[in-house]
Chain A
Amino acid sequence: MAKYTHSVAIDPEKCTGCTTCLRRCPVEAIRIRDEKAVINANQCIDCGECIRVCKHNAKHASYDKLSDLDFSKYLIALPAPSLFGQFNHLDEADFVIQGLLDMGFSDVYEVAKAAEYVTDLTRIYMAGENVARPVISSACPVVVRLIKLRFPTLCDQLVPILPPYELAGKLARERALEEHPELKPEDIKTVFISPCPAKVSWAKSVMEGQTVHVDYVTSMNDVYMTLLDKMKGSVPGPDSAPEAGSVGLRWATTSGEAASLMNEGYLTADGIDNVIKVLDDLESGMLGDIGFVELNACSPGCVGGVLAPSNGYVARLRLQSLQKTVVVKPNNLEDIESLERFKGEIPSDYTEAEAFTYMPDGAPNMFKMMLAMKKAEALAEKLPNKDCGACGSPTCRAFALDVVNGEAKIEDCKVRSELQG
């Protein structure tokens, strides 16, 4: 298995070894070893819950800093739809786009615009023959990684189309080359302004085998203050008119993507624990006839990402007002060419290079694993089963298996040793 580059990291200086993240990690990927949290890279899904819950600011996402960008290149900003929900009293999206241009970006390509193409393409995909239902959105990279690691039978139900941020990078680069034939491809760099660390990991990981169209991933938090400063003095010019409509903007919040498909019944859920519950129910085949499933690791959608500065629910409210100021879906009206381009066909370079496949964490030898789990079961019965986490494992059962695998010592169980005096 190729290395997966995670964007969630721990600052050992700040980590106190408390058990908050340990108990909140939805995939039990964290252990406390030598009084510090350690993340198992094979199991981490980059959901960012540990960043969200850490009381000591010891978890952080790594991303490209604004100060690391070389503004002498042709830099194209790719603002996530959620960025437009971060500002109070924003009457028009134009101010954000102008602000980005004033920051020094040569062009702005809204991810919301690419999202509208993904909507078109998903409709075409769903109209195809023998497409397994329900079709599951692949826009949230946390959900995609979760399914690949834990829900093998759902892999082929993921939409095989590039996620909006990646498609935006591709289309932005193509536009730059078309409008500026003098530019060399290596001089064009795309910069995604991200609300979440999972998208950082996605772009930084070569494991998936895709051509990556996003060159830099910055944090919305990091860009925010600089952008806000510029916006105060910005006067929207002719290049700052938004190209995306309300359909694209709605992708920032849960149900936006699903509702825009306007065809079959759909189910949407957000929050990582709810997502896992829905996936379990889907795998048991208990949810009945559903055409489409949209799942977002964050609530209420990408606006709730850990790199977004505003409260996600406030951002959603702002986006709702902003949606009234734009047309529904400009590419239907103006961008006829692109619609023609998609007539009934999905261009191969708009799809994932490789099919989504199951990647079990390691390839366990079943016989060995059975012996280990048998030993662990026997041990677990002797443990206090309080799941307190003081030993550094999230549950007594997980601790038992860690002991059997030689990753923890039985003496690490504080409660048990107290009981024994």
Chain B
Amino acid sequence: MSEALHYHFDVDGASFANAGRASVETKKLLRQLGVSPEIIRSISVAMYEGEINMVIHAHGGDADVYITEDTIIIILKDVGPGIRNVEEAMKEGFSTAPENIRALGFGAGMGLPNMKRYSDEMHIDTKVGVGTTIELWYHLNK
């Protein structure tokens, strides 16, 4: 991916207030590039969900955005607890978020399902106790 335009963002795990910053910055960059509004919208929704997941479950992590002429790939990587059962986590409404997080209005169990809905491809690589890497793919010339 050496030809790709690459941006890196640290997702700060200490604060909910900062969650979403990487997706807002990414949105600005994509708009500057002239990416279509529909794709920008999908990316900002999916990436925001990913950032929130990293803050809730994994004390933050790294967000990397790779842009080529025909594909945008977002890689969200954390060294959190990993996802025990991916199939279950993909079900709408399934959540392992603690009560205090839900009280904030997060952890409704829509994170992963929304990320899948708002991406062309989603790849999850996770290992319990090691961490999770999620790739979101967008094809620009559909």
Binding site for B on A (CB under 8 A): 150, 152-153, 280-281, 283-286, 288, 358, 360, 363-367, 369-370, 373-374, 377
Contacts and interface: CB of A to CB of B under 8 A. Distances in A.
A323 B24 CA distance: 40
B5 A280 contact: no
Contacts of B44: 283-284
Contacts of A281: 20
A286 B20 contact: yes
Interface string B98-109: 000000010000
B20 A284 contact: yes
Contacts of B67: 370
Given A153-B41, A377-B5, A283 B34 contact: no
Interface in B28-71: 29, 31-35, 37-38, 40-41, 44-45, 48, 52, 67, 69
**How many B residues are at the interface, by size bracket?**
20 to 34
Contact of B34 (A280, A286, A288, A364): A364
Contacts, number: 57
Contact of B45 (A150, A285, A358, A366): A285
A363 B5 contact: no
Contacts of B5: 370, 373-374, 377
Given A284-B23, A369-B34, 6 more contacts: A152-B41, A153-B38, A285-B48, A286-B20, A370-B33, A377-B5
Given A283-B44, A288-B105, A369 B33 contact: yes
B27 interface: yes
A280 B69 contact: no
Contacts of B37: 152-153, 358
When A and B form their complex, which 10 residue pairs have the shortest distance between CB atoms, in order from nearest?
Answer: A152-B37, A364-B34, A284-B48, A153-B41, A280-B24, A285-B45, A366-B34, A284-B44, A369-B33, A374-B5
Contact of B33 (A284, A285, A364, A377): A364
Interface of B: 5-7, 20, 23-24, 27, 29, 31-35, 37-38, 40-41, 44-45, 48, 52, 67, 69, 105, 114
Contacts of B35: 366
Chain A interface SS verdict (over half) = helix
B138 to A, nearest CB: 13
B48 A153 contact: no
Contacts of A284: 20, 23-24, 44-45, 48
A274 to B, nearest CB: 13
A152 B40 contact: yes
Nearest to B19: A286
19 contacts: A150-B31, A152-B31, A152-B37, A152-B41, A280-B24, A281-B20, A283-B27, A284-B20, A286-B20, A286-B48, A364-B32, A364-B33, A366-B34, A369-B33, A370-B33, A370-B69, A373-B32, A373-B33, A377-B6
Given A285-B45, A373-B5, A377-B7, A280 B20 contact: yes
B102 to A, nearest CB: 13
Nearest to B29: A373
B99 to A, nearest CB: 18
A299 to B, nearest CB: 20
For A284, A360, A373, A374, the residue with the greatest tally of chain B CB atoms inside 10 Å of its CB is A284
A4 B24 CA distance: 27
Nearest to A276: B24
A150 B37 CA distance: 10
Contacts of A286: 20, 48, 52
Nearest to B44: A284
A369 B32 contact: yes
Nearest to A401: B32
Nearest to B6: A377
B108 to A, nearest CB: 9
Contacts of A369: 32-34
Contacts of B7: 377
